[in-house]
Structure 1
């Protein structure tokens, strides 16, 4: 740290995550601390919390009848970041609060995972991932070895010998030896503190014991189920989020309706992207189609339909020849296959016509509510920012709208591009140049078979102007 503090000027403290106009201490490694935060973290390391021994214990400032409900407005412990409600805690004059259990953590710890040096209770200033659970998350107190760059979360340092969870019918027993293993629940490697179910003959990470059996994810319109191994119908599948191969012998999530699979870590990495249903019918969105089929051909194709957003019947076209119109759904030029109205100028791509009336739009991160298919409105798309009057999916909570072009393009799964022979898949985290515009992109459609890349804007461009 610098010898003297300097004006914060918009810096955010790496201890309390708050920004104000007070002075901060700054380190060349990028860390910033308010003065009181810097002194507090120094005292933790040097004095083993002894500066708090004179502070009397106080009862919780706020209590709740439901101990399972996490109150957003309740102060949190600076050690474990959990709410202070219904816990006895320290409340020093400087404003820092600690659970009693966090204040009494041992200063040093000898651990089997790192025999070379004792682990010291410290502030996780470098945001290191836990050596045991391999997870990186916000946690202020860790047991670490600074020279070796090792951190172990407090709850992982002394794991429970037996854990029972409602998501699994049998208890899990701790296997405390240092032993590399592949978790049967998530498919990710572990190296210590494995938990074993002898009845089912499976070995898992501690945090994977509580993986929910059923979740409702923003990535998919149906419920998805956790499986320890995939049925034969799902073999040779790729994850619909990262597009990496899913090992059928290891745990993952899958949808029985669509034969779609997800890596367990991919679909649960963001706690705000999924929910756990408490009832059979909870949060099930309607699977109602936008069309009613009036006639079929011998190949079981719908040749005559009624779309709920158009007054006349629509016919399936045999070819695109003679039409230079655009699709009234996505506003892109008409291409095979498509439906047309014989009574007025109305056209819909087959894919646009068959979309559900309600859909989960995964890239809409603000709300968990499903989106409703709408038309006859002029709007600005929240993804591409284009103004259009085509079809859109409208969030039932915040009323924001996403155009059909963006919804279709960014729906998980392989997409075809008329200018490329292989299917393209959307990657949320990609760093490279687009083959079309040569601009640098952080999200793109990529081909797994060759080095062909299109950014979101170029992928959605019409083939003709």
Structure 2
């Protein structure tokens, strides 16, 4: 009996496969997923793959599903199908929430009374020391000044540090220091070479 590389069930009905590689997949498993998508969480196009021995760069959990979206341009970015396809949440005046590409969950406006004890995840400064509004995900203890949110680019093109475009990624790995200046990196966030 042969098994589908996509869903793990026995092969029945229309199937694609490669006999020498012993790789087979249901047509329905291929049809339900787009070959290439553009995700809110990554500036490069993502392609479908069966490589899944990595952590998701959106939710930081280990990918144990049969399909994954990975960066088409060779970045290390990998994501669960559900995470890559998660829709962007628009600004909501009612709840004062923003979905920002630096975090999986929507960020809610933080009450000014709570700003005394929290630090911005990008600039690492005390949120109460800034006149800028602060948005955050209290579940993850992830907070951002609105000014930092607006100032961080998704990619750096034609910068003098590195010849390739550097792409902002959230990263499940914790790198200790910057390759350029040697300073401590903000946990889970960095600019990475796309090549």
TM-score when normalising by structure 1:
0.25
Larger Rg: 1
TM-score when normalising by structure 2:
0.48
Q: Which fold has the larger relative contact order, with Cα–Cα distance below 8 Å and residues 6 or more apart in sequence?
A: 2
